[in-house]
């Protein structure tokens, strides 16, 4: 059985508005907001990608944003792209399935074989982790063991962010603050998922750095889980 400590160090990085939102409204691409990042911050984002072995986003972000997840604004190697997608229903025309960088699609055992094969036919790795849904702790161990991933960056969206935090898989958070308020009760925010039952379940963060990058405030936190085993 795999050693649970053998998983990548995980940095969650996101652009958020002053009211904690990730997009203009539900169902829209974050690329609209990202246009308002300063150039220096775009460089920071791409430097961070280049400094990681892998980058992961949720399958819904791929469906909405059709991201490339490559390093473009700085010199450096694009990281391995990782997309958890339980039923392997990622559109086959997705940019992330293109040849610009290697990609791993994490699927569950329920994923239909023909969809898995269609993804493999594009030269993309498919990793089965989990029964009904992608088992994120297992996926982290497989990335460590089979793909040599030691440092992983998670770039959202809120559903994946919540599951990664819920499983205590995130070590650090870096936020790029955009000076806007967009509002909207159901507009995606940094973390979605389930409501917590009480203050005991709050995940505590330790602020470790803050600075201006171009015109954007950047904040950096360590994640301090209660009952953490390591």
Nearer to ligand NAP, 78 or 161 (CB): 161
Task: Tell me the C-alpha distance between 192 and 177, whole Å.
Answer: 18
Q: Which residue has the tokens 């940019």?
A: 95
Nearer to ligand NAP, 85 or 104 (CB): 85
Q: Which residue has the tokens 């405030």?
A: 217
Nearer to ligand NAP, 22 or 142 (CB): 22
176 touches 37 (CB < 8 A):
yes
Nearest by Cα to 104 from 131, 122, 84: 84
CB of 23 to ligand NAP, least distance (A): 4
CB of 46 to ligand NAP, least distance (A): 14
Nearer to ligand NAP, 114 or 199 (CB): 114
Site residues, ligand NAP (CB under 6 A): 14-15, 22-23, 28-30, 33, 57-61, 64-65, 84-87, 133-134, 136, 155-160, 163, 188, 192
CB of 205 to ligand NAP, least distance (A): 17
CB of 25 to ligand NAP, least distance (A): 9
143 touches 149 (CB < 8 A):
yes
Phi-psi region of 66 (alpha: psi -120 to 50; beta: other; left: phi over 0): left
């Amino acid at each position: 059985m795999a050693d649970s400590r053998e998983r990548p160090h995980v940095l969650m990085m996101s652009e958020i508005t002053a009211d904690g939102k990730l997009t203009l409204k539900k169902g829209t691409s974050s690329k609209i907001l990202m246009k308002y990042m300063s150039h220096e911050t775009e460089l920071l984002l791409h430097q961070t990608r280049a400094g990681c072995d892998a980058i992961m986003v949720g399958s819904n972000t791929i469906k909405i944003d059709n991201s490339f997840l490559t390093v473009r604004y700085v010199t450096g190697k694009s990281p391995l792209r990782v997309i958890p997608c339980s039923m392997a229903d990622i559109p086959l025309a997705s940019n992330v399935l293109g040849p610009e960088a290697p990609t791993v699609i994490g699927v569950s055992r329920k994923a239909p074989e023909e969809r898995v094969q269609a993804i493999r036919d594009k030269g993309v790795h498919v990793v089965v982790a989990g029964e009904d849904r992608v088992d994120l702790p297992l996926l982290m161990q497989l990335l460590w063991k089979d793909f040599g991933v030691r440092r992983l960056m998670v770039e959202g969206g809120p559903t994946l962010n919540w599951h990664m935090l819920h499983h205590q898989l995130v070590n650090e958070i870096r936020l790029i603050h955009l000076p806007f308020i967009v509002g909207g009760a159901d507009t995606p925010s940094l973390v979605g998922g389930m409501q917590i039952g009480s203050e005991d379940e709050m995940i505590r963060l330790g602020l470790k750095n803050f600075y201006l990058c171009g015109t954007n405030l950047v904040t950096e936190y360590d994640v301090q889980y209660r009952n953490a085993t390591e």
